[in-house]
Amino acid sequence: MARLEIDSALVERVARLARLELTEAEADRLKTELAEIVDYVGQLDELDTSTVSPTTQVSESGTPMREDEAQPDPAGAEILAGAPEREGRFFKVPRIVE
């Protein structure tokens, strides 16, 4: 598999998707660091995995499940109380549509 090329455009794009604002110096540093990380992970390319199906989990038993029972959580009120901004019982955020 072709190695992922980390260039300035990619760093900028990832930063935008993560809603991060980077200075030029930070972007340069990240470009180098990300390239090193990708290189490191790239060692896995030495293995032949053509006959192995993608593994996303090592647990074999399947996800545990809960019964369908509603239980109020007392922490709910605390979450609302801890909001940086509130209006009545709503969380208040900067307007997101024009």
Partner 1 sequence: MASDNYEAIIGLEVHTHLATRAKLFCGCSTAFGAPPNQNICPVCAGMPGTLPVLNRGAVELALRVGLAMSCEIAFESVFARKSYFYPDLPKGYQITQYELPLCRGGRVELPPDREGRSRTVRLTRIHLEEDAGKNIHTGGASLVDLNRAGVPLLEIVSEPDLRTAQEAGAYLRELREILRYTGASDGRMEEGSLRCDVNVSVRPAGSEQYGVKVEIKNLNSFRFVERAIEYEVGRQIEALAAGATLTQETRLWDAGRSVTRPMRSKEFADDYRYFPEPDLPPLVVAPAWVAQVRAKMPELPAERRTRFTRELGLGPYEAGVLTQQRELADYFEALAAQVTNRRSAANWVMTEVLRFANESNKPLAEAVSPAVEAAALLRMVEAQQISLNAAKTAFAALCAGWQKGEHKSATDLVAELGLTQVSDEAEIAAACDRLLASESVKVAEYRAGRDKLFGFFVGQVMKAMGGRANPKVVNQVLRRKLQS
> How far, in Å, are 5, 15, 16, 35, 43 from residue 10 at the CA level?
8, 8, 10, 11, 21
Near partner 1 in 60-79, by CB under 8 A: 61-73, 75-76, 79
Near partner 1 in 10-39, by CB under 8 A: 17, 19
Report whether 20 contacts 4 (CB < 8 A).
no
Q: How far is the CB of 13 from partner 1 (least distance, A)?
A: 8
Q: Identify residue 95 by its one-letter amino acid code.
A: R
Token code pair at residue 45? 């390319």
Told to check if 95 binds partner 1 by CB under 8 A, we report yes
Return residues touching partner 1 (CB under 8 A): 17, 19, 56-57, 59, 61-73, 75-76, 79-80, 87-97
